[in-house]
Amino acid sequence: MIEIKNVHKSFGDKVILEDISGVMETGKCNLIIGASGSGKTVLTKCMVGLFTPDSGEIFYDGHNMLEMDREERTSLRQQIGMLFQGSALFDSMTVEQNIIFTLDMFSNMSSKDKKKRVNEVLEKVELSGSNNKFPSEISGGMKKRVGIARAIVLNPKYLFCDEPNSGLDPQTSLVIDKLIKSITAEYNITTIVVTHDMNSVMEIGDNIIYLYKGKKEWEGSKDDIIYSKNEKLNDFIFASEFLQGAKAVRMLEAEGKIDKVTDIGKIIDEKDN
Ligand SMILES: Nc1ncnc2c1ncn2[C@@H]1O[C@H](COP(=O)(O)OP(=O)(O)OP(=O)(O)O)[C@@H](O)[C@H]1O
Ligand SMILES: [Mg+2]
């Protein structure tokens, strides 16, 4: 579990994060959502120690990261897997070398064990046999999967995925989402996914924090979203008229004003006539 308390961060006189608190649960996909520029990446960078917050606290299973000494931080860093915004693979290295790079940095495994581990994680992300391909030879979805394989190679307790679906088609996005979800549950990882992808929110959003201009505007689950009356959240999630209509129908269902299947049929019939 990761708990953040009253995190503030500014760059110069520009306030980026204002008093953000929240709990990221173990074994769940915890989402940070919000429009471009709302502070999602800055918040995750504060959480993993790449930025230092101006004030606030960040607890990893009860231990305040901001009070850890160098040794404790290094050991925590080894328990964190990261899938960066844009995959961030080394173009001059093969898939295998990209993954082994992390093992070289943070483990004392023998070459044989490293190769074995690479094959295990490649199998996990359904990329067995792609060891010798270069990033330029594989698709965007495959690159994301290599990024995930690299992020989980050290068996992390905490996994951060920044925009795992950016640039992918909806179906490939769903494959990536389901992969992240199943890995999270299988290894009981505390997973944080940064996204502005509506499909991801509805597919894997166990716990969701919605940032609006650097503040926490709303939090809840994917089911809460359907029935939420928070206007800013609704404008963000249900941006199109089509989705606003779909949400309105769900609300009417929930309030018992229409019956699920028959009345929707009736609405369509009446509209057509
Ligand atoms: N290193 C930095 N120095 C100064 N300002 C920064 C820095 N990093 C981010 N910012 C600013 O912080 C704000 C939030 O940026 P952030 O990258 O967190 O947005 P985001 O929510 O991740 O957006 P996106 O969905 O586009 O990735 C932006 O106004 C950005 O310009
Ligand atoms: Mg970002």
- Can you give the pTM of this predicted structure? 0.89
- The proportion of the chain whose per-residue pLDDT surpasses 90, expressed as a percent, equals 71
**Cβ of residue 38 lying under 6 Å from some atom of ligand 1:** yes
The answer to whether residue 264 is domain-embedded is yes
Alpha carbon of 111 to ligand 2 centroid (Å): 35
Same domain, 269 and 159: no
Over range 179-200, report the average pLDDT: 92
Band (12; pLDDT cuts 50, 70, 90): very high
Same domain, 145 and 248: no
Same domain, 273 and 201: no
Residue identified by tokens 């800013």 is: 232
- Alpha carbon of residue 99 to chain centroid: 20
Same domain, 212 and 245: no
Over range 231-248, report the average pLDDT: 87
Nearest residue to 88 (alpha-carbon basis) of 150, 156, 167, 165: 150
The answer to whether residue 233 is domain-embedded is no
Same domain, 9 and 103: yes
The answer to whether residue 157 is domain-embedded is yes
Residue nearest (by alpha carbon) to ligand 1 atom 30: 37
pLDDT of residue 16 exceeding 80:
yes
Order of strands, edge to edge, in the sheet holding 158-162? 80-83, 158-162, 190-195, 29-34, 207-212, 215-220
The answer to whether residue 179 is domain-embedded is yes
Alpha carbon of 196 to ligand 1 centroid (Å): 14
Residues 44-79 pLDDT 10s: 999 999 999 999 999 999 999 999 999 999 999 999
Same domain, 41 and 103: yes
- The proportion of the chain whose per-residue pLDDT surpasses 70, expressed as a percent, equals 95
Same domain, 172 and 248: no
Query: Which of 11, 84, 216 for a ligand 1 pocket mutation test, highest count of atoms within 8 Å of Cβ?
Result: 11
- Cβ-in-10-Å burial (0-12, 13-18, 19+) of 219 comes to middle
pLDDT of residue 199 exceeding 90:
no
Same domain, 181 and 119: yes
The answer to whether residue 37 is domain-embedded is yes
How many structural domains compose the chain? 2
The answer to whether residue 91 is domain-embedded is yes
Q: CATH number of the domain at 157, please.
A: 3.40.50.300
Same domain, 193 and 116: yes
Same domain, 88 and 208: yes
Full domain range(s) for residue 93: 2-227
Residues 98-145 pLDDT 10s: 999 999 988 899 999 999 999 999 999 999 999 999 999 999 889 999
Same domain, 126 and 253: no
Same domain, 149 and 255: no
The answer to whether residue 35 is domain-embedded is yes
The answer to whether residue 189 is domain-embedded is yes
Nearest residue to 204 (alpha-carbon basis) of 235, 187, 218, 183: 183
